[in-house]
């Protein structure tokens, strides 16, 4: 398949759907923060996220061409590994937003592309040239500037949890990259949410509790928002190239800042605005560079020498 046949050429629609997806996920994280203040355990949030997410995702798959045949797979071990890593990543991200201001949690999440670049060298034996290594270094400098851990203005536990989420999120992207060579997107998404139900359900034996109808309704809303957001992310890639829509992901900082200010009176520190451009610039450069190299490799599958290394 060539590079243009994998998606429709509708960049404006793709951008709009990507923006909708990011806004939806930002609202989900705001609800996660709120229910955390209502003494809802993070495991409970995860369980209901997967339970109702499985229902919504299953309905989406049935409505698509091919239906349940899209779920065929023989790589059960890889799916299980992806599920475990993904659950840890999501759990850490949920806990981070409970512990940190919205904007700070979102900013640390932007380190995933940098960490994934490092993991691609370790686990996929990919070559990363000097330009991408510089981008990774710049991104981590941005994190230090934004967070300023020596000033103790940001809770260190929250920052550590957020970085844990980013690390496991990056590991998840590596496994998804390998799964995507043989598995459909529907299979990857549905199997993840399905496996998440029993895995988190076991932990519910110890932490699950009864909640008011309001809180239970919010837990359902979190699941629906998260699932719709993830499906919208996938839909944006069907309509436009990832290099076109990916920069829209960083609008999450705007949404997170606005939600944090409106509902929690949170105002990001000036250093956050100094460090964040370095992080965003690093992430965008890495994504665009990887996209360019992947296209060039596809053009020269048997003669990689014309492909620049970087």
Interval 62-79: pLDDT, tens: 887 777 777 777 788 989
pLDDT at 305 over 60: no
pTM of the complete model: 0.88
Q: How many CA atoms lie within 13 A of 148 on its CB side?
A: 12
**Structural domain boundaries of the chain?**
11-299
pLDDT at 50 over 60: yes
Question: What is the predicted pLDDT for the residue at 301?
Answer: 62
Question: What is the predicted pLDDT for the residue at 47?
Answer: 98
pLDDT at 54 over 80: yes
| Cα separations in angstroms, 287 against 13, 108, 117, 267, 302 | 21, 17, 10, 29, 24
Task: Give the length of the chain.
Answer: 310
User: Which candidate, 37, 156, 143, 25, places its Cα nearest to that of 98?
Assistant: 37
Percent with pLDDT over 90 in the chain: 54
pLDDT at 180 over 50: yes
Q: pLDDT, tens digit, for every residue of 271-280?
A: 888 999 999 9
pLDDT grade for 306, boundaries at 50, 70 and 90: very low
d(CA 159, CA 163) in angstroms, rounded, equals 6
Tell me the mean pLDDT in the region 135-139.
92
Q: pLDDT, tens digit, for every residue of 153-173?
A: 678 899 999 999 999 999 998
Q: pLDDT, tens digit, for every residue of 207-265?
A: 999 999 999 999 999 999 999 998 898 888 778 777 778 888 999 999 999 999 999 99
d(CA 91, CA 98) in angstroms, rounded, equals 11
């Amino acid at each position: 398949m060539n590079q243009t046949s994998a998606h429709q050429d509708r960049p404006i629609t793709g951008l709009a759907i990507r923006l909708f997806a990011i806004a939806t996920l930002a609202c989900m994280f705001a609800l996660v923060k709120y229910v955390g203040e209502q003494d809802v355990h993070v495991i409970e949030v995860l369980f209901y996220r997967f339970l109702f997410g499985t229902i919504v995702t299953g309905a989406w798959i049935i409505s698509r061409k091919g239906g349940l045949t899209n779920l065929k797979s023989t790589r059960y071990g890889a799916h299980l590994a992806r599920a475990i890593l993904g659950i840890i990543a999501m759990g850490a991200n949920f806990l981070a937003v409970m512990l940190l201001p919205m904007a700070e949690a979102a900013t640390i999440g932007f380190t995933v592309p940098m960490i994934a670049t490092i993991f691609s060298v370790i686990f996929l034996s990919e070559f990363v040239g000097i330009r991408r290594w510089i981008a990774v270094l710049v991104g981590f400098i941005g994190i230090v500037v934004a967070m300023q851990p020596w000033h103790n203005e940001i809770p260190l536990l929250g920052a550590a949890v957020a970085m844990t989420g980013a690390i496991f999120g990056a590991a998840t992207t590596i496994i998804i990259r390998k799964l995507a060579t043989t598995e459909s997107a529907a299979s990857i998404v549905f199997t993840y949410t399905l496996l998440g139900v029993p895995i988190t359900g076991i932990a519910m034996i110890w932490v699950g509790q009864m909640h008011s109808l309001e809180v239970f309704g919010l837990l359902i809303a979190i699941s629906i928002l998260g699932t719709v957001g993830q499906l919208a992310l996938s839909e944006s890639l069907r309509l436009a190239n990832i290099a076109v829509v990916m920069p829209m992901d960083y609008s999450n900082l705007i949404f997170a800042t606005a939600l944090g200010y409106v509902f929690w009176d949170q105002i990001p520190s000036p250093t956050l605005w100094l460090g964040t451009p370095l992080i965003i610039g690093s992430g965008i450069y890495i994504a665009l560079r990887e996209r360019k190299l992947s296209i060039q490799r596809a053009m020269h599958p048997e003669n990689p020498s014309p492909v620049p290394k970087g």
